[in-house]
Amino acid sequence: MEKNQISLPVDDLPKKWYNILPDLPEPLPPPKEPDEGPSRLEFLAKTMTKECLSQESSSQRWIAIPEEVRELYIQAGRPRPLYRARRLEKHLKLKKTRLYYKREDLSPTGSHKTNTALAQAYFASREGKRVLITETGAGQWGTALAHAARLAGLECVVFWVRSVYDWKVDRRTLMQLLGAKVYASPSKQTRMGREILARDVNHHGSLGIAVSEGLEYTEEHEGSVYCLGSVLNHVLMHQTIIGLETIKQFELIDDQPDLIVGCLGGGSNFGGISLPFVGEVLKKKRECEFLAAQTMASPSLLKGRYEYDFGDVGEHTPLMKMYTLGHKTEMKPIKADGLRYHAAAPIISLLRHRGIVKATAYPTDERAVFEAAKIFLQCEGWLIAPESSYAVRAGIDEAVKNEKIGQEKAICMNISGHGFLDIPAYKEKILS
Amino acid sequence: MEKNQISLPVDDLPKKWYNILPDLPEPLPPPKEPDEGPSRLEFLAKTMTKECLSQESSSQRWIAIPEEVRELYIQAGRPRPLYRARRLEKHLKLKKTRLYYKREDLSPTGSHKTNTALAQAYFASREGKRVLITETGAGQWGTALAHAARLAGLECVVFWVRSVYDWKVDRRTLMQLLGAKVYASPSKQTRMGREILARDVNHHGSLGIAVSEGLEYTEEHEGSVYCLGSVLNHVLMHQTIIGLETIKQFELIDDQPDLIVGCLGGGSNFGGISLPFVGEVLKKKRECEFLAAQTMASPSLLKGRYEYDFGDVGEHTPLMKMYTLGHKTEMKPIKADGLRYHAAAPIISLLRHRGIVKATAYPTDERAVFEAAKIFLQCEGWLIAPESSYAVRAGIDEAVKNEKIGQEKAICMNISGHGFLDIPAYKEKILS
């Protein structure tokens, strides 16, 4: 029998995260202060945990995953299976291309974001913090942090862009069931929020405002820490658990991927599955290509410039060298909200700059990506997140391309999350 | 490190289903014809697959799971992990009681129903059928059959009680994305549906009408087969994959359950986890107790009479000897719709009659069970189906009771499904 599910024994869950910083082909350009305003580096340092701050610029290649975090990973269902997509291959009539996918959709909150949320919550707890603060746009990150805070016995406060907060009622309910305080941003909880509401009581908010509110709240509440869900080096490092498991799983079946495909907004799931493979490519230990699937709403790696920019609209972060569309760019709303970000993580940007990571982008009507998700559902049986459908679309497109070339090739797609809370989007895009 | 997740290697997925019929303490009373009307036995035989009909009364103790079905089980994520609920134990301050739970919520459609749907679809396909027909109430069964039909390359037609069809839009969308034709019942697809609609165009339907429509449709469309999702012997047998895995998982950690708890409507998830253990109890190979958690909306095992009754309101099934409240009983609406059924499966009823299965029931306001689900979410991190929350409630109650007695005891709860499509119910029951 050909088994489509490649599972890794619980005991084989990796014991270390992979930090790519010392292996990069050139030193990562450090974050910088802007010319004006208060020190962003000091501010960031003040609101983060010491451990994450230290990991952010560590030169240590392997960083031990604390036993407590490994236990939490196992509690959250890790290791997650890798699948050979034989049913999809058959549907696409592939003869030369082997398709695989990694199942981050099995996460308790529905996305890969738990991998860093659980780690950040643990470090905060170890440093005596009591409250985790964050902002959220699409809601995946807020849910993951609410979950992690609860499991660590901490409180959680989420500032959620009002225009999303208002309609994603189920996701809001889930955060609240997990015990989080969820505020529509702009909120009455902060000076900034109150000022904005005084001018416009119906202000629909923005990610920039939500970040500002979160940071102000963190500064004014002792024992609290601000948590970020993407872009930063330590976040991508926590996510390497995905790729490290995947390497072991390919070893189990004596195969290896020639191409890894992931969707990319800020870069955390893409970095998570790719970086352990990239590290081995850089050391000439393997050959593999990497493709980021983006939305034309924010095709940072394709249309952006590689330059220093803020990580947020509100200019609270230091300047980071990234492929960026500009931190004030307006982006068209799409169903895969998680991909709407103006820039790519510094590490991913450097790899793009050096030609190691390639990128593609799909139109904002999203018909093509939802169609791919439907094919995936009907063949493989799993309902995936709108974001993940970009990875599947790109994986299918690359497979079809490869069939014309006729080379033996293995493609691995990362399924970053499930779609059970995104069914209305499917209805709109597929059934109407 | 104490690992909370007990996973079973894919290769150890059981190769046979367990058929308890030959091991029952007395022969199962056979289904009977009612005094009036057409032959129900012939009718049932005509609409089912030959294989399922043969399994229904088989005296063979172990029935091989076809390799193709094992592949589908693996595709659908089997084997599923067993968890030690150490975090919940800690929250409840348990000293003597070990709590475990089995993860059927990891199913692609969100419930254990796939275990029999995949088998039935395979048998239908092998017998040259082209269309799977069914009725659905809560929607879990319709979704599972839509999924299984798709994976087997068959069509699927679901008659869905209109009052549920109208508001469970997401679940309907999921069935449609899987390619199923979903009709609100009463529908215009059948003579019976048209007659009812002619009298009342806004008729809200009933499970009885949906069954009747499904059966009429099956009779009139060649190549179609009617599939049932609970109650019948072969359905419970397909579900024994749950308990058979669980036995192996307990062996892996050198422990064994003293009590197994599952929620019970018709009895398919309860039978699935329990029957393999019951079989060993009957052969004096182990000691274990079994507790069914019901709703006071339909407490068949507690308040019902053990007598011959129809399986459906519309009187299409043969008479079966069951604990029944009467097939015409009106049942109060609850969020855990999957538990609203007037009777318990014949096998479970016989075991109840012989004192092997015990039962409890929770009030229809469902506050207590949703509260248990919230505690479970906050401790263990998983959002479970409203139905499953009955099992968790009963598991917690039994654990607390046992602490007072002070005996060493292991309790295993079956988590029959996830709650991602039931978040509005949580909002109503917990947050309002």
- Give A71-118 pLDDT, tens digit per residue: 999 999 999 999 999 999 999 999 999 999 999 999 999 999 999 999
Contacts of B359 (CB under 8 A, 6+ apart): B264, B291, B292, B293, B294, B299, B301, B302, B352
B window 155-214, beta carbon within 8 A of A: 169-170, 173-174, 176-179
> What is the rounded average pLDDT of the residues A277-283?
98
Rounded to the nearest angstrom, the minimum Cα separation between A427 and chain B is: 6
The pLDDT score that the predictor gives to residue A207 is 82
- Give A134-188 pLDDT, tens digit per residue: 999 889 999 999 999 999 999 999 999 998 898 899 999 999 999 999 999 999 9
> What is the rounded average pLDDT of the residues B296-323?
95
Residue B10 within a domain: no
Search chain A and give the residue with CA nearest B377: A178
Report the amino acid identity of residue A298. S
The mean of the pLDDT values for chain A is 96
How many folded domains does chain A comprise? Answer: 2
Q: Name which of B3, B110, B378 is nearest A10 (Cβ-Cβ).
A: B3
Q: Are residues B220 and B244 in the same domain?
A: no
Selection from A251, A258, A271, A257 nearest residue A112 by Cα: A271
Contacts of A167 (CB under 8 A, 6+ apart): none
Reported as a pLDDT band with limits 50, 70 and 90, residue A1 is: low
Q: Name which of A1, A6, A423 is nearest B174 (Cβ-Cβ).
A: A423
Reported as a pLDDT band with limits 50, 70 and 90, residue B1 is: low
- Give B350-390 pLDDT, tens digit per residue: 999 999 999 999 999 999 999 999 999 999 999 999 999 99
Residue A52 within a domain: yes
Packing angle of the helix pair B367-380, A169-177 (nearest 10 deg) = 80
Instruction: State the Cα–Cα distance between residues B423 and B360, nearest whole angstrom.
Output: 25
- Is A387 touching B (CB cutoff 8 A)? no
Cα B277 off chain centre by: 17
- Give A27-39 pLDDT, tens digit per residue: 999 999 999 999 9
Question: To 5 degrees, how large is the angle CA B70–CA B76–CA B79?
Answer: 65
Residue A232 within a domain: no
Q: Are residues A93 and A121 in the same domain?
A: no
Q: Which of A74, A113, A169 to mutate to test the interface with B (most CBs of B within 10 A)?
A: A74
Q: Are residues B252 and B149 in the same domain?
A: no
R_g (Cα) of chain B, nearest Å = 20
More confident residue, A102 or A432: A102
Cβ within 8 Å, pair B5-A174: no
The tokens 């709403």 sit on which residue? A297
Question: To 5 degrees, how large is the angle CA A268–CA A274–CA A276?
Answer: 110
Tokens of A109: 């909150």
Asked whether the ipTM of the predicted complex exceeds the cut of 0.90, the reply is yes
Tokens of A369: 């990506």
> What is the rounded average pLDDT of the residues A291-312?
97
Selection from B293, B428, B290, B271 nearest residue B347 by Cα: B271
Of the residues B165, B199, B226, the one at which a domain ends: B226
- Is B76 touching A (CB cutoff 8 A)? yes
> What is the rounded average pLDDT of the residues B166-181?
96
- Give A184-226 pLDDT, tens digit per residue: 999 999 999 999 999 999 998 888 889 889 999 999 999 999 9
The pLDDT score that the predictor gives to residue A199 is 95
Q: Are residues B252 and B383 in the same domain?
A: yes
Cβ within 8 Å, pair B383-A108: yes
Burial state string for B238-247 with b = 16 or more CB within 10 A and e = fewer than 16: bbbbbbbbbb
Q: Are residues B294 and B255 in the same domain?
A: yes
- Is B64 touching A (CB cutoff 8 A)? no
Selection from B275, B316, B317, B321 nearest residue B300 by Cα: B321
Q: What is the DSSP letter of B384?
A: B
Reported as a pLDDT band with limits 50, 70 and 90, residue B312 is: confident
Answer whether A187's CB lies under 8 Å from A193's CB: yes
Chain A residues closer than 8 Å to B106 by CB: 77, 106
The pLDDT score that the predictor gives to residue A312 is 87
**Share in percent of chain B as helix, strand, coil (round to 5):** 45, 20, 35
CB atoms within 10 A of CB A41: 15
Search chain B and give the residue with CA nearest A154: B378
Instruction: State the Cα–Cα distance between residues B150 and B148, nearest whole angstrom.
Output: 5
> What is the rounded average pLDDT of the residues B9-20?
98
Q: Which of B1, B104, B107 to mutate to test the interface with A (most CBs of A within 10 A)?
A: B1
Cβ within 8 Å, pair B74-A381: no
> What is the rounded average pLDDT of the residues B248-271?
97
pLDDT at B136 over 80: yes
R_g (Cα) of chain A, nearest Å = 20
Q: Are residues A40 and A175 in the same domain?
A: yes
Packing angle of the helix pair A140-152, A114-126 (nearest 10 deg) = 40
Search chain A and give the residue with CA nearest B170: A423
The pLDDT score that the predictor gives to residue B3 is 84
Rounded to the nearest angstrom, the minimum Cα separation between A209 and chain B is: 27
The pLDDT score that the predictor gives to residue A33 is 97
What DSSP assignment string belongs to B235-252?
HHHHHHHHHHHHHHHHHH
The mean of the pLDDT values for chain B is 96
Strands B319-324 and B305-310: antiparallel
Reported as a pLDDT band with limits 50, 70 and 90, residue A427 is: very high
Q: Name which of B10, B383, B423 is nearest A7 (Cβ-Cβ).
A: B10
Answer whether B271's CB lies under 8 Å from B240's CB: yes
Instruction: State the Cα–Cα distance between residues A298 and B271, nearest whole angstrom.
Output: 51
Residue B6 within a domain: no
Cβ within 8 Å, pair B173-A10: no
Cβ within 8 Å, pair A75-B170: no
3-state secondary structure chain A: CCCCEECCCHHHCCCEEECCHHHCCCCCCCCECCCCCCCHHHHHHHHCCHHHHHHHCCCCCEEECCHHHHHHHHHCCCCCCEEECHHHHHHCCCCCEEEEEEEHHHCCCCECCHHHHHHHHHHHHHCCCCEEEEEECCCHHHHHHHHHHHHHCCEEEEEEEHHHHCCCHHHHHHHHHCCCEEEEECCCCCHHHHHHHHHCCCCCCCHHHHHHHHHHHHHHCCCEEECCCCCCHHHHHHHHHHHHHHHHHHHHCCCCCCEEEEECCCCHHHHHHHHHHHHHHHCCCCCCEEEEEEECCCCHHHHCEEEEEECCCCCCCCEEEEEECCCCCCCCCCCCHHHCCCECCHHHHHHHHCCCEEEEEECCCCHHHHHHHHHHHHHHCCCECHHHHHHHHHHHHHHHHHHHHCCCEEEEEEECEECCCCHHHHHHHHHC
Beta bridge partners of B226: B133
> What is the rounded average pLDDT of the residues B212-218?
93
**Surface-to-core class of residue B181, CB atoms within 10 Å of its CB (0-12 exposed, 13-18 middle, 19+ buried):** middle
- Give B398-408 pLDDT, tens digit per residue: 999 999 999 99
Chain A residues closer than 8 Å to B420 by CB: 110, 418, 420-421
**Domain containing residue A323:** 77-110+239-431
- Is B101 touching A (CB cutoff 8 A)? no
Q: What is the DSSP letter of B27?
A: P
**Kind and range of the H or E element at B72?**
helix B67-75
Cβ within 8 Å, pair B176-A81: no
Reported as a pLDDT band with limits 50, 70 and 90, residue A432 is: confident
Tokens of A110: 């529905």
Selection from A423, A416, A275, A342 nearest residue B420 by Cα: A423
pLDDT at A2 over 80: no
Reported as a pLDDT band with limits 50, 70 and 90, residue B236 is: very high
- Is A67 touching B (CB cutoff 8 A)? yes
Instruction: State the Cα–Cα distance between residues A346 and A340, nearest whole angstrom.
Output: 17
Instruction: State the Cα–Cα distance between residues B428 and B432, nearest whole angstrom.
Output: 5
Q: Are residues B250 and B368 in the same domain?
A: yes
Q: Are residues B117 and B258 in the same domain?
A: no
- Is A418 touching B (CB cutoff 8 A)? yes
Residue B11 within a domain: no
Tell me what percent of the residues of chain A surpass a pLDDT of 70. Answer: 100
Contacts of A323 (CB under 8 A, 6+ apart): A300, A301, A304, A305, A306, A343, A344, A348, A349, A352, A353
Report the amino acid identity of residue B339. L
Please provide the distance, in angstroms rounded to a whole number, between the alpha carbons at the two ends of chain A. 40
Contacts of A353 (CB under 8 A, 6+ apart): A306, A323
Selection from A298, A301, A307 nearest residue A333 by Cα: A298
Tell me what percent of the residues of chain A surpass a pLDDT of 90. Answer: 93
Selection from A115, A149, A11 nearest residue B2 by Cα: A11
Of the residues A200, A226, A252, the one at which a domain ends: A226
Residue B45 within a domain: yes
Q: Are residues A155 and A289 in the same domain?
A: no
A window 2-21, beta carbon within 8 A of B: 2-7, 9-11
- Is A51 touching B (CB cutoff 8 A)? no
Residue B69 within a domain: no
The pLDDT score that the predictor gives to residue B90 is 98
The tokens 């390919």 sit on which residue? A250
CA distances in angstroms from A356 to A23, A279, A347, B27, listed in the order given: 13, 11, 11, 69
Contacts of B400 (CB under 8 A, 6+ apart): B92
Cβ within 8 Å, pair A426-B374: no
Search chain A and give the residue with CA nearest B74: A5
Q: Name which of A5, A150, A378 is nearest B178 (Cβ-Cβ).
A: A378
Answer whether B316's CB lies under 8 Å from B215's CB: yes
* C-alpha dihedral sign at A430, B143, A92, A423: positive
Tokens of A329: 């760019």
pLDDT at B270 over 80: yes
The tokens 């996701």 sit on which residue? A171
Phi then psi dihedrals of residue A133, to 5 deg: -115, 140
CATH number for the domain that contains residue B282: 3.40.50.1100
Answer whether A20's CB lies under 8 Å from A281's CB: no
Of the residues A226, A260, A277, the one at which a domain ends: A226
Question: Hey, is B118 helix, strand or coil?
Answer: helix
Residue B71 within a domain: no
Q: Are residues A44 and A189 in the same domain?
A: yes
Within B339-382, residue ranges assigned H as helices are 346-353, 367-380
Q: Are residues B213 and B275 in the same domain?
A: no
B191 Ramachandran zone, left/alpha/beta (phi>0; psi -120 to 50): alpha
- Give B30-64 pLDDT, tens digit per residue: 999 999 999 999 988 889 999 999 999 999 999 99
Q: Are residues A104 and A147 in the same domain?
A: no
- Give B105-122 pLDDT, tens digit per residue: 999 999 999 999 999 999
Tokens of B286: 């182990």
Beta bridge partners of A350: none
